[in-house]
Protein backbone atom coordinates (compact mmCIF):
# COMPACT_ATOMS: atom_id res chain seq x y z
CA UNK A 1 0.00 0.00 0.00
CA UNK A 2 2.80 2.46 -0.56
CA UNK A 3 1.51 5.70 -2.01
CA UNK A 4 1.56 6.26 -5.69
CA UNK A 5 3.87 9.08 -6.67
CA UNK A 6 2.30 12.14 -5.10
CA UNK A 7 -0.67 10.84 -3.19
CA UNK A 8 -0.96 9.57 0.35
CA UNK A 9 -3.29 6.91 1.64
CA UNK A 10 -5.16 7.70 4.81
CA UNK A 11 -2.79 5.53 6.84
CA UNK A 12 0.18 7.37 5.43
CA UNK A 13 -1.29 10.76 6.16
CA UNK A 14 -2.17 9.54 9.62
CA UNK A 15 1.35 8.32 10.27
CA UNK A 16 2.95 11.50 9.06
CA UNK A 17 0.58 13.94 10.67
CA UNK A 18 0.16 12.12 13.94
CA UNK A 19 -3.63 12.21 13.60
CA UNK A 20 -5.63 8.98 13.64
CA UNK A 21 -7.36 7.86 10.45
CA UNK A 22 -10.69 8.24 12.21
CA UNK A 23 -9.77 11.82 13.06
CA UNK A 24 -8.86 12.51 9.46
CA UNK A 25 -12.22 11.21 8.27
CA UNK A 26 -13.86 13.38 10.87
CA UNK A 27 -11.91 16.41 9.70
CA UNK A 28 -13.02 15.70 6.18
CA UNK A 29 -16.62 15.44 7.32
CA UNK A 30 -16.26 18.90 8.83
CA UNK A 31 -14.62 20.23 5.71
CA UNK A 32 -11.21 20.90 7.16
CA UNK A 33 -9.43 18.66 4.71
CA UNK A 34 -10.32 17.03 1.43
CA UNK A 35 -9.30 13.97 -0.54
CA UNK A 36 -9.68 12.63 -4.02
CA UNK A 37 -10.89 9.08 -4.51
CA UNK A 38 -9.55 6.05 -6.32
CA UNK A 39 -11.72 4.10 -8.72
CA UNK A 40 -12.52 1.88 -5.77
CA UNK A 41 -13.58 4.82 -3.58
CA UNK A 42 -10.53 4.98 -1.33
CA UNK A 43 -9.17 8.34 -0.24
CA UNK A 44 -5.98 9.70 -1.67
CA UNK A 45 -4.49 12.85 -0.24
CA UNK A 46 -2.46 15.44 -2.06
CA UNK A 47 0.76 16.15 -0.22
CA UNK A 48 -0.21 19.63 0.77
CA UNK A 49 -2.97 18.17 2.91
CA UNK A 50 -0.23 17.25 5.32
CA UNK A 51 0.25 20.93 5.93
CA UNK A 52 -3.44 21.45 6.49
CA UNK A 53 -3.45 18.71 9.09
CA UNK A 54 -0.42 20.25 10.79
CA UNK A 55 -2.30 23.51 10.85
CA UNK A 56 -5.29 21.83 12.43
CA UNK A 57 -3.12 20.24 15.08
CA UNK A 58 -1.40 23.52 15.78
CA UNK A 59 -4.76 25.17 16.23
CA UNK A 60 -5.97 22.45 18.56
CA UNK A 61 -2.80 22.92 20.56
CA UNK A 62 -3.68 26.56 20.90
CA UNK A 63 -7.02 25.54 22.29
CA UNK A 64 -9.06 26.47 19.26
CA UNK A 65 -12.17 24.59 18.25
CA UNK A 66 -12.28 22.80 14.92
CA UNK A 67 -14.89 25.31 13.91
CA UNK A 68 -12.50 28.21 14.44
CA UNK A 69 -9.73 26.37 12.69
CA UNK A 70 -12.00 25.84 9.75
CA UNK A 71 -12.60 29.57 9.55
CA UNK A 72 -8.89 30.10 9.11
CA UNK A 73 -8.53 27.24 6.65
CA UNK A 74 -11.44 28.45 4.60
CA UNK A 75 -9.37 31.45 3.65
CA UNK A 76 -6.88 29.42 1.72
CA UNK A 77 -7.30 27.48 -1.51
CA UNK A 78 -8.80 24.07 -0.90
CA UNK A 79 -7.68 22.09 -3.87
CA UNK A 80 -4.26 23.34 -4.79
CA UNK A 81 -1.17 23.78 -2.70
CA UNK A 82 -1.43 27.11 -0.86
CA UNK A 83 1.38 29.55 -1.42
CA UNK A 84 3.67 30.81 1.29
CA UNK A 85 1.63 33.99 1.35
CA UNK A 86 -1.55 31.98 1.84
CA UNK A 87 -0.14 30.27 4.87
CA UNK A 88 1.20 33.52 6.23
CA UNK A 89 -2.24 35.01 6.08
CA UNK A 90 -3.76 32.01 7.81
CA UNK A 91 -1.14 31.96 10.53
CA UNK A 92 -1.49 35.68 11.07
CA UNK A 93 -5.14 35.05 11.90
CA UNK A 94 -3.97 33.46 15.10
CA UNK A 95 -1.25 35.81 16.24
CA UNK A 96 -3.56 38.23 18.01
CA UNK A 97 -5.44 35.43 19.69
CA UNK A 98 -2.28 33.82 20.97
CA UNK A 99 -1.02 37.07 22.35
CA UNK A 100 -4.32 37.77 24.03
CA UNK A 101 -4.30 34.35 25.60
CA UNK A 102 -0.76 34.84 26.84
CA UNK A 103 -1.71 38.17 28.36
CA UNK A 104 -4.68 36.55 30.04
CA UNK A 105 -2.57 33.82 31.52
CA UNK A 106 -0.04 36.33 32.74
CA UNK A 107 -2.76 38.33 34.42
CA UNK A 108 -4.00 35.14 36.03
CA UNK A 109 -0.51 34.20 37.10
CA UNK A 110 0.04 37.63 38.62
CA UNK A 111 -3.27 37.45 40.46
CA UNK A 112 -2.45 34.09 41.91
CA UNK A 113 1.07 35.01 42.91
CA UNK A 114 -0.02 38.20 44.56
CA UNK A 115 -2.18 36.01 46.75
CA UNK A 116 0.79 33.82 47.47
CA UNK A 117 3.60 36.28 47.81
CA UNK A 118 2.23 39.28 49.59
CA UNK A 119 0.16 37.72 52.29
CA UNK A 120 -2.88 39.09 50.58
CA UNK A 121 -2.38 42.65 51.64
CA UNK A 122 -4.09 43.80 48.50
CA UNK A 123 -7.42 42.38 49.48
CA UNK A 124 -9.30 44.34 46.90
CA UNK A 125 -7.46 42.55 44.15
CA UNK A 126 -7.14 39.11 45.65
CA UNK A 127 -9.78 36.93 44.12
CA UNK A 128 -9.15 33.95 46.30
CA UNK A 129 -9.02 35.60 49.68
CA UNK A 130 -11.36 38.41 48.94
CA UNK A 131 -13.81 38.68 51.82
CA UNK A 132 -17.13 37.35 50.61
CA UNK A 133 -18.97 40.51 51.43
CA UNK A 134 -16.64 42.54 49.32
CA UNK A 135 -17.01 40.19 46.41
CA UNK A 136 -20.75 40.23 46.90
CA UNK A 137 -20.81 44.00 46.85
CA UNK A 138 -19.60 43.95 43.28
CA UNK A 139 -22.91 42.63 42.05
CA UNK A 140 -22.57 39.25 40.30
CA UNK A 141 -19.49 38.85 42.41
CA UNK A 142 -15.99 37.61 41.89
CA UNK A 143 -16.63 37.71 38.19
CA UNK A 144 -13.78 40.10 37.59
CA UNK A 145 -11.34 37.34 38.29
CA UNK A 146 -12.66 35.63 35.25
CA UNK A 147 -12.29 38.23 32.61
CA UNK A 148 -13.95 41.41 33.71
CA UNK A 149 -11.98 44.30 35.08
CA UNK A 150 -11.23 44.56 38.75
CA UNK A 151 -13.23 47.25 40.50
CA UNK A 152 -10.55 49.86 40.80
Nearer to DNA, 51 or 114 (CB): 51
For residue 45, what are the CA distances in angstroms to 13, 24, 62, 79, 83?
7, 11, 25, 10, 18
Burial 128-150 (b: 16+ CB within 10 A, else e): eebeeeebeeeeeeeebbeeeee
Picked from its own copies, DNA, none, the partner binding residue 74 (CB below 5 to 8 A depending on kind) is: none
Helix 21-30 to helix 10-17 angle, to the nearest 10 degrees? 100
Q: How far is the CB of 139 from its own copies (least distance, A)?
A: 9
Q: How far is the CB of 117 from its own copies (least distance, A)?
A: 9
| Residue 11 lies near DNA (rule: CB under 7 A) | yes
Q: Summarize as ranges the residues that interact with its own copies (CB under 8 A).
A: 15-18, 47-48, 50-51, 53-55, 57-58, 61-63, 84, 87-88, 90-92, 94-95, 98-99, 101-102, 104-106, 108-109, 112-113, 115-116, 119-120, 127-130, 132, 135-136, 140-143, 145-147
Amino acid sequence: MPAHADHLTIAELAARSGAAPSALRYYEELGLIAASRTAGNQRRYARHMLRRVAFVKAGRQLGLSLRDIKLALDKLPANKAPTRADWSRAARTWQAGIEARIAELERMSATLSSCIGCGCLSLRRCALYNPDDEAASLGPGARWLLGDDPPG
